[in-house]
Structure 1
């Protein structure tokens, strides 16, 4: 039985503010750790498309509502996170500035396809369906898991145990695609009720309020929520569909090879190791940077 879907839209600023207030100030503690600089590689800079090299910048899209990957610090203005640090280090290596634009996850793919952005660095999971119009330079691997209230009052065990219950998920994400493309195994009269939200913060806020019974999100995002909102949530052990995560460019982009070469160099540097350690993501690193998970 397929999942039943309901869409719920919230004012993103309000729910993000509520989640930050509930989590305290430890985001500042993470962001305060300095990141080593990276020396520019003139050979890589020469391999950039002339339009990018002449402009001296890469226009990069992201959805800055996904800690610890990318999100706004407690001042509501400064973008921080693992991928922000990594992207800026990549820019240093390439000898260009990363010009970040924050927008909803669902708006990023059209922005890439339409040429508004050179790339997206937004914790995007590399899925075959997405490769029809986009190319991924993969440097990470992330699975998905269930987040529940502390103490697991609804006794959620796994996705199958969500039959007849309400499951929150962010719109435009690989997690929503996974749920929509997999049979829940539930009887027809007890299907899982999918409730989509504009941001992951909004889904977590709904979980806190008891409006959903669990949230399905990336492992790293759920682990960060548990860490920040002490005593409010817990993450179940099962990890679903571990998938490569990559920088996204339009299919056929002249940036593909140079970004692959630059990321392959960056992951060997001390700066990259420090960034990974800073955000506690040592379990997510991969041995080799690939294009489309090495499948061409």
Structure 2
């Protein structure tokens, strides 16, 4: 029987609070989605008995799918107004996938750059945190794709016309989150600046997306970059004080990282295929206003770069 349930919770999560954006004149809104969005329940997909039987025994025995996420990137994942519940479109995705596998989803909030090491160490079953499926990452984990997007620059609204493309950043300060594709692209662009006889980019790396945004909002750093859907949300939550600038760049597939050899890859892929083909997938995208992230088909290890 189909049923509904809310996401599992975890304590000690870092949120992008009103105080973090005080320097940009926002409306004091929490980074969590509105209460109406939080309460919009979407019916869970039913358990697939064959896929549930294929789940590795240790996971099946505990009846939980332990999912690592960095809950500082709304609307994909963030902390709700209660200060503990992790919400977002990726949380909704995770709950749907777990349901197909006959499991409960349990989300654990950790830093983005700790997700793959945590998977390798066996602390988590999968990750679900807006992670780009890349050829480099595929060397250490496998991926199941579920969405797509590209990063985009963001700045204070008064600075929105100063720097509008990554090619213009030579000699300028640039806020990035540790371990992300944005960091990799930024460093590659800095090397191009030097090769062209220009000053390198002054790259500032932050552990969380909240700290990264705060550095730009306070004027410590000129511009930052995060995934384009996050910029749409950032502008809404700051009443236009912080905005995305320029066009998204380096678009690519997002994937669910899975430890190699865990036995979970095939059933996870089949469950994700069911999600992507379901009405619930579009309902979740619409609920969180991230329709541009939709894909038509889930694949295993779909890296394009």
How has the CA–CA distance of structure 1 residues 14 and 248 changed in structure 2, closer, same or farther, with 3 Å as cutoff?
closer
Describe how 1:12-31 pairs up with structure 2 within 5 A: 13=14, 16=17, 18-19=19-20, 22=26, 23-24=28-29, 26-31=33-38
Paired with 1:32 and 1:204, the residues of 2 have a C-alpha distance of 27
CA-CA distance at 1:137 after TM superposition? 0.1
Of 183, 191, 211, the residue aligned with 1:202 is: 211
Describe how 1:208-219 pairs up with structure 2 within 5 A: 208-219=217-228
**Contact 1:132-1:251 within 8 A present in 2 as well:** no
1:146 to 2:153 alignment? yes
Of 260, 266, 275, the residue aligned with 2:284 is: 275
Describe how 1:242-253 pairs up with structure 2 within 5 A: 242-253=251-262
**Contact 1:159-1:184 within 8 A present in 2 as well:** no
- Unaligned ranges ≥5, structure 2: 1-12
Q: Which moved more, 1:207-216 or 1:232-241?
A: 232-241
1:114 to 2:121 alignment? yes
Of 71, 77, 92, the residue aligned with 2:84 is: 77
How has the CA–CA distance of structure 1 residues 13 and 271 changed in structure 2, closer, same or farther, with 3 Å as cutoff?
closer
**Contact 1:219-1:239 within 8 A present in 2 as well:** yes
**Contact 2:169-2:201 within 8 A present in 1 as well:** yes
Paired with 1:45 and 1:14, the residues of 2 have a C-alpha distance of 34
Describe how 1:274-293 pairs up with structure 2 within 5 A: 274-293=283-302
Paired with 1:153 and 1:86, the residues of 2 have a C-alpha distance of 33
User: Which structure shows the higher strand fraction?
Assistant: 1
Describe how 1:18-167 pairs up with structure 2 within 5 A: 18-19=19-20, 22=26, 23-24=28-29, 26-152=33-159, 155-167=162-174
Q: Deviations over 1:186-234 (max 9, x none)?
A: 5556221000111111111111110010011111112211122112012
**Contact 2:56-2:262 within 8 A present in 1 as well:** no
Q: Deviations over 1:263-291 (max 9, x none)?
A: 00111222222111101111111111001
**Contact 2:276-2:295 within 8 A present in 1 as well:** no
CA-CA distance at 1:49 after TM superposition? 0.9
Paired with 1:51 and 1:20, the residues of 2 have a C-alpha distance of 43
Aligned partner of 1:266 in structure 2 is 275
1:175 to 2:185 alignment? no
CA-CA distance at 1:62 after TM superposition? 0.7
- Unaligned ranges ≥5, structure 1: 1-11
Paired with 1:278 and 1:241, the residues of 2 have a C-alpha distance of 26
Paired with 1:13 and 1:264, the residues of 2 have a C-alpha distance of 32
Paired with 2:284 and 2:15, the residues of 1 have a C-alpha distance of 30
- The TM-score, its normalising length taken from structure 1, stands at 0.90
Q: Deviations over 1:225-248 (max 9, x none)?
A: 112211201212321111100111
Paired with 1:158 and 1:278, the residues of 2 have a C-alpha distance of 30
Aligned partner of 1:6 in structure 2 is none
What secondary structure, in the 3-state scheme, does the structure 2 residue paired with 1:217 have? strand
Paired with 2:129 and 2:91, the residues of 1 have a C-alpha distance of 9
CA-CA distance at 1:294 after TM superposition? 7.2
Of 227, 233, 237, the residue aligned with 1:224 is: 233
Q: How many residue pairs end up in the alignment?
A: 285
